[in-house]
């Protein structure tokens, strides 16, 4: 019997088919493979190319395409939520449930030690257990968001919280947290977690089932950032919470397209405001107008990326929603783009000094490891709590002022946030935010820290394999 420490682990990675989820699973696969762990990666065929390019450090990784069963309401060939409407994404969860037989058959052949699964596949623990495989719930969300949103104490006795309840932290929440409450519009948005679509289980039921039945929970987190929330969740879920570390992305490969590199290159270092809301977060017309004028008011150069729901024509939406005469007025110092951009390369560009974003967790980490000051404009779900963590607990970002009832922000709220972290940098809060950003950047770029977390995680996996 090989010593535990010599055991060559083999794990399967099985993320939800959304790039905000696939990315962290790819990053974890790269960190584990550097520790000698063998990787097999499950996803729908249309996602394989992007996963393959992300698994650069894991050339031996086996990517196994899982065709999505044809279900009414889904379009063949649309394999990630980035190409789907929210309604289609709900149908995709049901289609994933129908994949159990093919997943079971492949796992029975692969016989990995572990399968890392996501919130959407709560049936994995039972299916894996029947094959003698251990199931680990890998949460791509910040632990603060998991602690605040789905702690079991929130739904004792199958009682569903109402908006008032969701505005407050759950019972026993870390008392030193910067969160004393969240705004009404944010709590209303979080009620989505408890909503059933076409009779399917709500997100919180799927997540809770997976968290309850898994062998252990693996989180994209480190004690330094989220220690109190990790302890709170481990107590609440009565499960070991294993830390993968912050999963800092490897330096982006390749070069930025000339059109962006040349445009950015004409501005002084750290002067450009980059504004993007990730792969699946969209602003409405009024928000776009206030955001655009707010960027214009700063007088700083800016690169604004705006995307629109899959069912709309992005280019015509862009023309329709931008303010009258806006593009003419900002000619030469502002560009607006719709569609995918190489975000990690843009954030790493020497001219970019500020990132106004949706507070997506992967995106926030990417800004922290670059010299991009954070202006946070969370739009949904975990983003509200990520923003609280970074701007509240870590004080490494500026949370843009919002009206409590409906989340409204105005052009002045946008320009105030950007000026605080980019112009009035000798005054508070910009001064402290920039100092803390620098401190967290050094921490996150400490390769030893990342390796320590990865090595400790693998050692823990070997003890439970």
Residues within the interface to ligand AWU (CB under 6 A)? 19-21, 23, 140-141, 276, 278-280, 340-344, 358, 360-363, 366, 380-383
Distance of alpha carbon 92 from alpha carbon 319, whole angstroms: 31
Closest CB 359 distance from ligand AWU, rounded Å: 7
Q: Does 113 participate in catalysis according to the annotation?
A: no
Q: Which is nearer to ligand AWU, 173 or 355 (CB)?
A: 355
Closest CB 312 distance from ligand AWU, rounded Å: 17
In contact, 119 and 89? CB cutoff 8 Å: no
Closest CB 334 distance from ligand AWU, rounded Å: 18
Q: Which is nearer to ligand AWU, 13 or 344 (CB)?
A: 344
Q: Which of 79, 118, 382, 393 is catalytic?
A: 118
C-alpha of 51 from chain center: 16
Which two three-digit tokens encode residue 319? 């023309």
Q: Which residue has the tokens 């000619």?
A: 331
Q: Which is nearer to ligand AWU, 344 or 417 (CB)?
A: 344
Closest CB 20 distance from ligand AWU, rounded Å: 3
Closest CB 192 distance from ligand AWU, rounded Å: 11
Closest CB 346 distance from ligand AWU, rounded Å: 8
Closest CB 292 distance from ligand AWU, rounded Å: 18
Q: Which is nearer to ligand AWU, 114 or 141 (CB)?
A: 141
Q: Which is nearer to ligand AWU, 10 or 342 (CB)?
A: 342
In contact, 168 and 181? CB cutoff 8 Å: yes
Distance of alpha carbon 386 from alpha carbon 377, whole angstroms: 10
Q: Which of 21, 349, 358, 437 is catalytic?
A: 21
Q: Does 118 participate in catalysis according to the annotation?
A: yes
Q: Which is nearer to ligand AWU, 18 or 107 (CB)?
A: 18
Q: Which is nearer to ligand AWU, 133 or 203 (CB)?
A: 203
Buried b or exposed e, range 41-57, using 16+ CB within 10 angstroms = bbbbebbeebbeebbee
Active site positions, annotated: 21, 118
């Amino acid at each position: 019997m090989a010593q535990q420490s010599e055991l060559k682990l083999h794990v399967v990675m099985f993320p939800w088919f959304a790039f905000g989820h696939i990315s962290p699973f790819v990053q974890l696969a790269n960190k584990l493979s550097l520790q000698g762990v063998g990787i097999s990666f499950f996803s729908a065929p249309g996602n394989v190319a992007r996963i393959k390019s992300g698994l650069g450090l894991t050339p031996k990784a086996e990517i196994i395409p899982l065709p999505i069963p044809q279900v009414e309401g889904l379009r063949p060939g649309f394999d990630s939520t980035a190409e789907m409407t929210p309604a289609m994404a709900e149908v995709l969860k049901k289609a994933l449930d129908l994949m159990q037989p093919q997943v079971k058959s492949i796992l029975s052949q692969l016989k990995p030690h572990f399968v890392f699964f996501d919130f959407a596949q709560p049936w994995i623990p039972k299916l894996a257990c029947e094959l003698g495989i251990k199931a680990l719930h890998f949460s791509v969300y910040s632990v603060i968001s998991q602690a605040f949103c789905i702690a079991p104490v929130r739904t004792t006795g199958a009682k569903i919280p109402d908006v008032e309840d969701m505005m407050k932290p759950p019972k026993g929440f870390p008392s030193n947290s910067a969160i004393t409450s969240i705004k009404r519009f944010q709590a209303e948005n979080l009620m989505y977690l408890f909503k059933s679509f076409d009779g399917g289980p709500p997100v919180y039921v799927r997540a809770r089932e997976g968290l309850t039945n898994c062998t252990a929970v693996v989180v994209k987190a480190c004690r330094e950032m989220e220690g109190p929330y990790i302890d709170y969740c481990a107590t609440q879920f009565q499960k070991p919470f294993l830390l993968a570390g912050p999963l800092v992305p490897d330096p982006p490969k390749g070069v930025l397209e000339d059109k962006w590199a040349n445009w950015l290159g004409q501005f002084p270092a750290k002067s450009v405001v980059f504004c993007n809301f990730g792969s699946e977060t969209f602003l409405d017309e009024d928000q776009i107008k206030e955001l655009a004028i707010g960027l214009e008011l700063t007088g700083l150069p800016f690169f604004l990326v705006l995307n629109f729901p899959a069912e709309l024509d992005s280019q015509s939406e862009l023309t329709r929603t931008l303010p009258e005469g806006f593009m003419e007025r900002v000619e030469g110092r502002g560009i607006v783009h719709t569609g995918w951009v190489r975000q990690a390369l843009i954030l790493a560009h020497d001219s970019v000094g500020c990132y106004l974003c949706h507070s997506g967790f992967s995106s926030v980490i990417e800004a922290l490891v670059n010299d991009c000051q954070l202006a946070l404009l969370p739009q949904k779900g975990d983003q509200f709590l990520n923003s609280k963590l970074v701007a509240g607990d870590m004080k490494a970002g500026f949370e843009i002022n919002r009206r409590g009832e409906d989340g409204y922000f105005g052009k002045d709220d946008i320009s105030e946030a950007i000026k605080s972290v980019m112009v009035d940098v000798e005054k508070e809060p910009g001064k402290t935010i920039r100092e803390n950003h620098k401190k967290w950047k050094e921490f996150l770029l400490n390769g030893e820290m990342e390796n320590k977390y990865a090595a400790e995680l693998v050692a823990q996996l070997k003890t439970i394999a």
